[in-house]
Structure 1
Amino acid sequence: MSSEKRIPLPFKIIPLEDEVQQKIAKDFAGYPNGLVSCNHWGFKFSATVTEQEVEDMYNHPLDPRDVWVVTPPKCGTTWTQEMVWLIANDLDYEGAKTPFIPDRWSFVDFPGLSDKEYMKRFTSNPSEKDGATGGPPNLAGDPNRPPPRFVKSHLPFSLSNPRLLDVCKVVYVARNPKDACVSYYHHMRLIRVHDFLGDIELFTEYFMKDELGESPFIEHMIEAWNLRHHPNLCFLFYEDMKKDLRSQIRKVAKFFGKDYSEEQVDNLAEHLHIDNFKKNPFVNFESLNKLGLTYPDRGSFVRKGKTGDWKNHFTPEMNEKFDKWMEEKLKGTDLTFVQELEKQD
């Protein structure tokens, strides 16, 4: 653990308006207390997060040997974690076969993700069903494991340790907001600690109002985009990974000072191909099913992994509204998103 002096959190934690909280509690069974806002553009946590927990996130220990993957939710996070871990660990495929991905990666913002009151129902009645030992697994991982530590975070840079980019290598992934929205919708219906009860149209309204846990997405990505030239930041787009994964593998390998042969790159691309990734038990959080933390009939943790799936969910009216919203959000920036691909893996 770092002995450096702790930095006071520069933001207040502010509950949302009562009317909004009541609506969230009605539409998300997993958030009976609603959400809180924290930072200058309103990043959202569960309302049960404490100032101490957010300050701990802000002061997460750093070591030059540590590696971070930072993304908004549902932007290829787990996919990127697997790629980065293997590249940084000399393609140690056997070492990647841990029973549970948090055995290799700690998850900084996990304490602010779910409602503590709601989570009690998953910890008070341990179940032996399907080999479960009772209670949710430690999704946060161990932040105090010895370096090099591999750290996953959905926190924006403004809520991360201010020294992060000066100390650690960070891989950031952005994704077009339409597909991110659709993926988050399915995720929040699948995972019972969120338990969204509405349809895609209602969820899209929440997305555009930035009234979801760990939103807003676009401000998150703009903040990272403006830091993309920092030598310790490797900025990727999900769509580039879908279009030409091998070139992105080479880009990340170069970032970590690794030089892999064409055959090694091909093997890693094959390992990461969505058809194989969906079948990989070491990245699919299968233990969540065993513990009753998911609705198995609503899909799997790794879903389609496609660019352009939003077209299967958005009506023309929804799309028009979303486009106008995005245009307003991106005004004054040169950040743009690819929403469709002619060919993808």
Structure 2
Amino acid sequence: MVWLIQNDCDYEGARCLLCPDRYHFLEAAGMTTSMKREKIRLGRNPVSKKLFFGSIQERTRPRFVKTHLPLHFCPPALIDTAKVIYVARNPKDMCVSYFHHTAVFKERSLALTLDDFAALFMDGEVSQLPYFPHVLEAWKQRHNPNLLFLFFEDMKRDLRGTIQKVADFLGKSLTKEQLDGLEFNLHFDNMKKNPWVNKSMAYAYSPLTAEELEAMAAKEPPPQFMRKGQTGDWRNHMSQQTSDKMDAWIQRELAGSDLKFITG
């Protein structure tokens, strides 16, 4: 969404990998094991080399940067010198999504249950966590004119309105035709069918060449990066006991805050 709005809905130019071609992924190398980084360094895949080892200084301006890091891990002057869009998702759906995501990138044992993962999630024992300090830090900055705080659930409820909100934040004017096109292309089902967003992610994170990955995919289709993108899907996966524990955790962590989530 951000890249297309900033680049005047250049769909032809968008036919490239989200990472690393359009965005600099700030902590990509730091999220992976030294063994995987070395495989990529010695591999034959120029895309993954750029993703993991490319310099942000090599990118043309305006630069687009993606990160899962909390604000206090980012440059101190970030909000004073750049536009920041922060997206939060309700913790129950995020927990389920993250559980499946770790399987896609082989970051957990397949024997680990969702209940066990949820316990680790609430304890902050998963990378990119703890959850609430991360979100609440950004929530406190929501009135800063250089930060736009968005909820994933609002994108699902009113995608067109979210597109307009992002365009206004970036100082871009969109025609009705551009809004129509963005609303269609950014619908989750259409994004899932878009190989430049979904299927090609496996190539960007692999030391193998595209030809080698295609040969492997012919034998066993790789898991897709985008799964469901639904609000309230946690009900189809989470036990009542874990749901109750998460409700108590959410209530405890949000005590004294006016931050509220839509969980269903």
Q: TM-score, normalised by structure 2?
A: 0.87
* Correspondence 1:310 to 2:224: no
The CA RMSD measured in Å over matched residues stands at 2.3
* d(CA) in 2 for partners of 1:227, 1:164: 12
2:65 aligns with 151
* d(CA) in 2 for partners of 1:259, 1:123: 41
The partner residue of 2:244 within 297, 320, 329 is 320
Q: CA deviation at 1:331?
A: 1.2
Q: Which sections of structure 2, spanning at least 5 residues, go unmatched?
A: none
Say if 1:171 and 1:236, in contact at 8 Å, map to a contact too: yes
Higher normalized strand content (fraction of residues): 1
1:138 aligns with 50
Q: What is the number of equivalent residue pairs in this alignment?
A: 250
1:164-183 alignment runs, 5 A limit: 164-183=78-97
1:71-220 alignment runs, 5 A limit: 83-99=1-17, 101-117=19-35, 119-120=37-38, 122-123=39-40, 126=43, 133=45, 136-140=48-52, 141-144=54-57, 145-192=59-106, 194-197=107-110, 198-220=112-134
Give secondary structure in 2 for the equivalent of 1:171. Answer: strand
2:261 aligns with 337
The partner residue of 2:152 within 235, 238, 242 is 238
The residue type equivalent to 1:225 in the other structure is W
Q: Which sections of structure 1, spanning at least 5 residues, go unmatched?
A: 1-82, 127-131, 341-345
Identity fraction in percent: 45
The partner residue of 1:301 within 177, 202, 225 is 225
Q: CA deviation at 1:276?
A: 0.9
* d(CA) in 2 for partners of 1:86, 1:138: 21
Relative contact order (alpha carbons < 8 A, sep ≥ 6): 1 or 2 greater?
2
* d(CA) in 1 for partners of 2:139, 2:79: 13
Higher normalized helix content (fraction of residues): 2
* d(CA) in 1 for partners of 2:63, 2:48: 22
Say if 2:45 and 2:207, in contact at 8 Å, map to a contact too: no
